[in-house]
């Protein structure tokens, strides 16, 4: 594992394919995080758009595997003392990350984590989730697993120390998408004594496409056909999972076939055209 030295207060990290949205992510982060020194890292199969090239604190990392693997591989290039793992379809609210980081630095130690809450946007409007949504107790499918604790919290958009990320072994990349691998990480972390707190405000507005709408199909299928079953299998009974081998990503396929069943395309636009994605 090639861990980089600290250079920034925080790395904003995104496993990402939606290159048409990346400039908007960058511009919103400039308004959301003004007090702290940060870098923006995208990891995925497509290059930076022209307008983001040659910006010192923006970079991309090539990766063609599943989403969890992209997080594992890409964060080895991060240089922030802290990391935030997010989705590239989010617009971040002005000053929201400054407030979140102020609270994190005040309340959290090296093993602690913040869930950055957000508003989920869809064709039906904004769907803000209350803080209690981000808990095992709120979700029966998690609370009823024999290996979980109903006092545990969830953090799917986390801020945490990069050293702790590596210490815990990061994601188990057997999960193809981040929901399962993030839950697993947070369960292991809380078994290890971590506390999870919530951000003081919603940090942003995230788009959401259901089912196979748009480019969401491979993620939907990964979660329904594989990841949910794996979560039940591993956390269905008490276990001794706390730390895992960071290099577990090397055991997963280098190309995620759900996303690229035919070939790896050169651009996001090529992916849409050749895989027949649609918003209908």
pLDDT of 126 higher than 80 = no
Instruction: Convert the pLDDT of each residue in 151-168 to its tens digit.
Output: 999 999 999 999 999 999
For the chain, give every domain's residue range: 8-259
pLDDT of 2 higher than 90 = no
**Closest to 199 measured CA to CA, from 56, 90, 103, 132:** 103
Does the pTM surpass 0.85? The reply is yes
Q: What tokens appear for 137 in the block?
A: 């107790």
Task: Report the DSSP pairing between strands 204-207 and 125-128.
Answer: unpaired
Q: Residue 184 gets which letter from DSSP?
A: H
pLDDT of residue 123: 61
pLDDT of residue 196: 98
pLDDT of 7 higher than 70 = yes
Burial zone of 238 (CB within 10 Å; 0-12 exposed, 13-18 middle, 19+ buried): exposed
* Spatial distance between the Cα atoms of 154 and 145, rounded to a whole number of angstroms: 15
pLDDT of residue 125: 63
CATH of region 8-259, choose from 3.20.20.70, 3.40.50.20, 1.10.645.10, 3.90.550.10: 3.90.550.10
């Amino acid at each position: 594992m090639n861990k980089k030295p600290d250079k920034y207060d925080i790395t904003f990290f995104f496993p990402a394919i939606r290159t048409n949205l990346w400039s908007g992510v960058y511009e919103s982060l400039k308004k959301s995080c003004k007090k702290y020194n940060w870098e923006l890292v995208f990891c995925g199969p497509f290059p930076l758009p022209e307008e983001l090239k040659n910006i010192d604190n923006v970079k991309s990392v090539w990766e063609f595997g599943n989403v969890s693997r992209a997080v594992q591989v890409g964060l080895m290039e991060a240089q922030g003392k802290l990391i935030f793992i997010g989705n590239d379809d989010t617009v971040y609210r002005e000053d929201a990350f400054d407030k979140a980081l102020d609270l994190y630095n005040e309340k959290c130690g090296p093993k602690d984590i913040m869930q950055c809450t957000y508003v989920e946007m869809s064709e039906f409007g904004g769907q803000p989730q209350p803080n209690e949504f981000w808990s095992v107790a709120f979700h029966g499918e998690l609370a009823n697993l024999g290996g979980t604790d109903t006092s545990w919290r969830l953090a799917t958009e986390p801020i945490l120390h990069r050293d702790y990320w590596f210490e815990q072994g990061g994601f188990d990349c057997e999960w193809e998408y981040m929901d399962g691998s993030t839950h697993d990480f947070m369960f292991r972390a809380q078994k290890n004594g971590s506390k999870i707190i919530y951000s003081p405000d919603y940090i942003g507005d995230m788009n959401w496409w259901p089912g196979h709408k748009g480019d969401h199909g491979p993620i939907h299928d990964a979660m329904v056909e594989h990841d949910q079953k794996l979560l039940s299998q591993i956390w269905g009974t008490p276990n001794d999972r706390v730390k895992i081998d960071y290099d577990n990503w090397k055991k997963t396929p280098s190309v995620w076939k759900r996303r690229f069943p035919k070939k790896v395309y050169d651009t996001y636009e090529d992916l849409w055209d050749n895989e027949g994605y649609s918003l209908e």
